[in-house]
Chains A and B, each alone.
Chain A
């Protein structure tokens, strides 16, 4: 009977011993996820689309270069406006269509966005 109880004590000691490591690595991985970076990039691209921006604008190279050099993330996006878009009839679907790609080496994010 005591022998069996000692197994449960052993299990408890193991759980307490590993708890510090588990807690710290969980907290660090939550912090390391680039939630605000991704939301910010996505928002600025849509803001540019709303101002009738095009891929040929300097904003496109701005975002790609500064993201790579300052944020350490590869960002790319396409922007098909209703007027210039492929297969969009500007009188019927007034869509802005955008593919956004973000990869900072640990997290990869792809977004496919259309608006009416």
Chain B
């Protein structure tokens, strides 16, 4: 039997109602993949450009507050040392200072606190200034009062200071007009800053 062989696979299935539109006689969906890839790439580039431009925050050392935290920890350690008795079962230096503060700028507090905070490993000393007061409750009642204790310089309100506190148990007449000196809890507050 001779004759032209049947060509069954020559024309791929075409959609109903459409004819040959361009190309080598086939209609398919290859173009959709290119289009989607192009749109996705465009969106990706736009978002990356936005992130890059948005990331221009300048992050300085002060923003992390690490230096503040170091100063606070040092002040807190200094107060803790001052509240430790030198001999067992005696009063600590801080307790003695709060029980007998004397005149306003207490020199004992100042020299001890500055010794502890201004020490450096090499020669010379640091430039830490402070102002300290103590707060107690007026017995009987709920009123509280603060009394200045010591300062190395007057506070001009332009300093970037950190606050450290220490509770101290003292035997004192608070208010001074009270009849008996009993055990009282007093909060010593120190503001310290670096010049």
Identity of the chain A residue whose Cβ is nearest the Cβ of B69 in the assembled complex: A31
Contact A48 B69, beta carbon cutoff 8 Å: no
Are B183 and A53 within 8 A (Cβ)?
yes
Is A59 an interface position by the 8 A CB rule?
Answer: yes
Give per-residue flags for A43-72: 1 if the beta carbon is below 8 A from chain B beta carbons, else 0: 110011001010001110111011101110
Residue contact B136 to A66, C-beta cutoff 8 Å = yes
Q: Are A44 and B185 in contact (CB under 8 A)?
A: yes
A36 contact from B37, B76, B144, B185, Cβ within 8 A:
B76
| Contact present for A10 and B48 (CB under 8 Å) | yes
User: Are A27 and B136 closer than 8 Å at their CB atoms?
Assistant: no
Q: Which of B48, B59, B169 interacts with A44 by CB under 8 Å?
A: B169
Separation of A14 and B166 alpha carbons in the complex (Å)? 44
Tally chain A residues at the interface, Cβ within 8 Å. Answer: 38
Residue pair B183, A24 in contact (C-beta under 8 Å): no
Chain A CB within 8 A of B12 CB: no
A7 touches B44 (CB 8 A): yes
Contact code string B131-160 (vs A, CB < 8 Å = 1, else 0): 000011101001010000000000000000
With contacts A31-B65, A70-B189 taken as known, whether A44 is within 8 angstroms of B144 at the C-beta atoms is no
**Nearest CB of chain B from residue A105's CB, rounded to whole Å:** 17
Residues of chain A having any CB pair with chain B under 8 Å? 3, 6-7, 9-10, 13-14, 16-17, 20, 23-24, 27-28, 30-31, 36-37, 40-41, 43-44, 47-48, 51, 53, 57-59, 61-63, 65-67, 69-71
Chain B residues within 8 Å of A, Cβ to Cβ? 37, 40-41, 44-45, 47-48, 51-52, 54-55, 57, 59, 63-66, 68-69, 72, 76, 135-137, 139, 142, 144, 164-169, 182-187, 189
19 examples of A-B residue contacts, CB within 8 angstroms: A3-B41, A6-B41, A13-B48, A13-B55, A14-B51, A17-B54, A31-B68, A31-B72, A36-B76, A40-B167, A47-B169, A48-B169, A58-B137, A59-B184, A61-B142, A62-B137, A66-B186, A69-B144, A70-B165
